[in-house]
Amino acid sequence: MKNKLMHLSNETMNVGFVKKVEALSGSSVRRCFQCGKCSAGCPMSAFMEHPPNRIVRLLQLGQGQRVLAGRSIWYCASCETCTTRCPNKVDLAGIMDALRKLSWDADGPSKESYVQLANRLFIENIRTYGRQYELRLGAAFNMKSGQFLKDLMLGPKLISKGKLKMFHSKNKNIGEIEAIFKRIEEMRKKGEAL
Ligand code: SF4
Ligand code: SF4
């Protein structure tokens, strides 16, 4: 990716946001001394406009909105390589989780709002059926993202090969799955879960 000059501003500085990230992740961004070992090992770094070490640097400078407006946090695969490689014990994978949570709560301005939409629909499907119902997921995604014809021609092929089912019954343990969702909601209210 081409390096572009980045203009940072006091007006966009939000120290409160950085404190929230630190509280949620349990990791201090001030520990980072920009050695770059996290980015060197990150398998998704090539797809991110801000590699992991730069995400931490932006947070050190209080530029949370710039981080949320980019796609890097949604390209992170939560592999934890960065956390393992960091000589200063910065839990960068945990920081990425915290950033996704804050972006989710704020409903964007993420460039990757389709990722958020796909995540939301995926979870809704699990809650409704107790399992993934791919056809419904694909149809709901196309409707809600306004891409009505996206991958439409793939549907019949996948159905004919038995890779996609037209109908799904609910998981018989749906009650237990609902109880898990309720427990997570309670934990989130108490600040015990992301
Ligand atoms: S490996 Fe750790 S100290 Fe080095 S740049 Fe990444 S977060 Fe900072
Ligand atoms: S957890 Fe995310 S940021 Fe860290 S190395 Fe893996 S993909 Fe990269």
Q: How many other C-beta atoms can be found within 10 angstroms of the C-beta atom of residue 81?
A: 20
Task: Out of 83, 106, 129, pick the residue that ends a domain.
Answer: 106
The protein residue whose alpha carbon is closest to atom 8 in ligand 1 is 32
Write out pLDDT tens, residues 76-121.
999 999 999 999 999 999 999 999 888 877 754 555 668 878 888 9
Instruction: Name the residue type at position 190.
Output: K
Task: Please indicate, yes or no, whether residues 99 and 122 belong to a single structural domain of this protein.
Answer: no
pLDDT on residue 189: 87
Task: Please indicate, yes or no, whether residues 30 and 88 belong to a single structural domain of this protein.
Answer: yes
Task: Please indicate, yes or no, whether residues 83 and 123 belong to a single structural domain of this protein.
Answer: no
Task: Please indicate, yes or no, whether residues 96 and 117 belong to a single structural domain of this protein.
Answer: no
Task: Out of 74, 106, 138, pick the residue that ends a domain.
Answer: 106
* pLDDT tier at 137, thresholds 50, 70, 90: very high
Task: Out of 106, 129, 156, pick the residue that ends a domain.
Answer: 106
* pLDDT tier at 124, thresholds 50, 70, 90: very high
* CATH number of the domain where residue 96 is located: 1.10.1060.10
CA dist list (Å): 90 to 28, 34, 35, 136: 7, 11, 12, 40
Q: Report yes or no on 194 lying in a domain.
A: no
Instruction: Name the residue type at position 34.
Output: Q
Domain extent, residue 159, equals 113-189
* Helices 15-25 and 92-106: angle between axes, nearest 10 degrees: 120
Closest atom of ligand 2 relative to the 80 alpha carbon: 1
Task: Please indicate, yes or no, whether residues 17 and 58 belong to a single structural domain of this protein.
Answer: yes
CB of 78 closer than 6 angstroms to any ligand 2 atom = yes
Q: Report yes or no on 26 lying in a domain.
A: yes
Write out pLDDT tens, residues 18-41.
999 999 999 999 999 999 999 999
Q: Is 194 exposed, middle or buried (0-12, 13-18, 19+ CB in 10 A)?
A: middle
Q: Return phi, psi of residue 38, to 5°.
A: -60, -50
Q: How far apart are CA 103 and CA 8, in angstroms?
A: 20
Least confident of 49-53, 111-115, 126-130: 111-115
CB of 32 closer than 6 angstroms to any ligand 1 atom = yes
Task: Please indicate, yes or no, whether residues 96 and 142 belong to a single structural domain of this protein.
Answer: no
- On the question of pLDDT at 7 being above 80, the answer is no
Rounded to the nearest whole angstrom, what is the distance from the C-alpha of residue 63 to the centroid of ligand 1? 17
Task: Please indicate, yes or no, whether residues 95 and 39 belong to a single structural domain of this protein.
Answer: yes
Q: What is the DSSP string of 13-45?
A: --HHHHHHHHHHHT--GGG-----HHHHH-TTG
Give percent helix, percent strand, percent coil of the chain, each to the nearest 5: 60, 0, 40
Write out pLDDT tens, residues 160-170.
998 888 888 89
Task: Please indicate, yes or no, whether residues 48 and 98 belong to a single structural domain of this protein.
Answer: yes
- Number of domain units in the chain: 2
pTM of the complete model: 0.74
Task: Please indicate, yes or no, whether residues 67 and 20 belong to a single structural domain of this protein.
Answer: yes
Task: Please indicate, yes or no, whether residues 81 and 139 belong to a single structural domain of this protein.
Answer: no
* Average pLDDT rounded to a whole number, residues 66-74: 88
pLDDT on residue 71: 84
pLDDT on residue 164: 87
